[in-house]
Amino acid sequence: MTAPASAPEHVLVGFVRSLRRAGLAVPVGSTVVFAEAVAAVGGTDIRQVYWAGRTTLVTRPEDVAVYDRVFGAVWRGLTPVVESIATETFTLLMDAEDEADAPPTEEDDDDGLEGPTLVVRFSPHEVLRHKDFAAYSHAELDEAHRLMADLHLAGALRRSRRRRPSRHSRGHPDVRRTVRHALRTGGEALERRYTEPDERPRRVVLLCDVSGSMEPYARALLRFAHAAVVGRARVEAFALGTRLTRITRELSSRDPDTAMGQAGLAVADWSGGTRLGEGLRRFNDQWGVRGMARGAVVVILSDGWDRGDPDELAEQMARLHRVAHRVVWVNPLKASPGYEPLARGMAAALPYVDEFVEGHSLASLEVLGQVISR
């Protein structure tokens, strides 16, 4: 279908399509508002059209760069307006990579430790539970992912400012319900009602190291993050490498393959180096200290191998520790016998860590789930 370039609504709709194709999530309703906005500003001055579009089509500062690029391309006539939505294909980065590489770094599979007498009937789950993620096959990873969905990650409870009706006759008087009840007894407030503070789960923030040294574990832990994000609303996930990437949105797709694919695309520094200190600093500046980490359970999934400055890491950990409810460090290497936190980064961070747990197998992630909700 080719529309005459002169029809303004075709140009506007085409522009929105180009935006969608470039990855912006623009709801249909916004296109209508955009058209109204362009009509309101006159639509003759390119700058006003630019701002009309930015106000109505962009809802996150991260999207401004994409918007600028597409706007430049479409409006300055560099590329033709997209007329059809291309079917999007996702490259499943993590899944494609995993079979060939990822040599099992630890030979000692933990399933030897589980007493064979305990397992009456052979259950693949039971074996899988204690198997090191590094030794997983692709199929096992899929299986593990299903099991992770049952983990039900929930932050520790805290008192909320919201109040709920209490069953006990103590606490704050609940005048609203007392009056309601009084009506039934002819206006005499015979029975008094009370409220007590409600309890809410704390926010859980997952910071997942995606550097090269974490590669065998990162794909499993990312699936853990996915299961957590999909399972509950108050979980935030970030990928930590040489840069910091927020992947909560990418992981929020219910379909695990789509979610993993999206996250893989979003994380540009997959399997690169790590500068934990810098990444944490960015997290603290942009998200954490401003509110996301306040009173939250912050979980860092990393082996602590760090190419950055350990002092910076210590400083940022201290900052994080000051605002967070608890800081949990999950180190898959901790499971190996004789492990000492000697990696520079790990040693620098450890003083500010409330809980130091392993995270190399499903069973250890179950433990992590308990630690988080404690």
Residues that bind other proteins (CB under 8 A): 25, 27, 29-30, 33, 36-37, 40-41, 47-48, 51-52, 54-56, 58-61, 64, 160-162, 175-176, 178-179, 182-184, 186-189, 200, 233, 236, 248-249, 284-285, 287, 289-292, 294, 315, 319
Q: Which is nearer to other proteins, 119 or 179 (CB)?
A: 179
Kindly state the smallest distance separating residue 67's Cβ from other proteins, in Å.
11
Kindly state the smallest distance separating residue 267's Cβ from other proteins, in Å.
18
Measure the CA–CA gap between 349 and 276, rounded to whole angstroms: 10
Q: Which is nearer to other proteins, 62 or 83 (CB)?
A: 62
Measure the CA–CA gap between 263 and 225, rounded to whole angstroms: 11
Q: Which is nearer to other proteins, 29 or 116 (CB)?
A: 29
User: Amino acid identity, residue 191?
Assistant: E
Query: How many CA within 13 A on the CB side of residue 148?
Result: 27
Cβ–Cβ < 8 Å for 199, 157? yes
Kindly state the smallest distance separating residue 203's Cβ from other proteins, in Å.
8
Q: Which is nearer to other proteins, 71 or 217 (CB)?
A: 71
Contacts of 222 (CB under 8 A, 6+ apart): 94, 208, 210, 239, 251, 260, 263
Q: How far apart are the first and last CA of the chain?
A: 59
Q: Which is nearer to other proteins, 248 or 373 (CB)?
A: 248
Kindly state the smallest distance separating residue 184's Cβ from other proteins, in Å.
8
Kindly state the smallest distance separating residue 154's Cβ from other proteins, in Å.
15
Cβ–Cβ < 8 Å for 302, 213? no
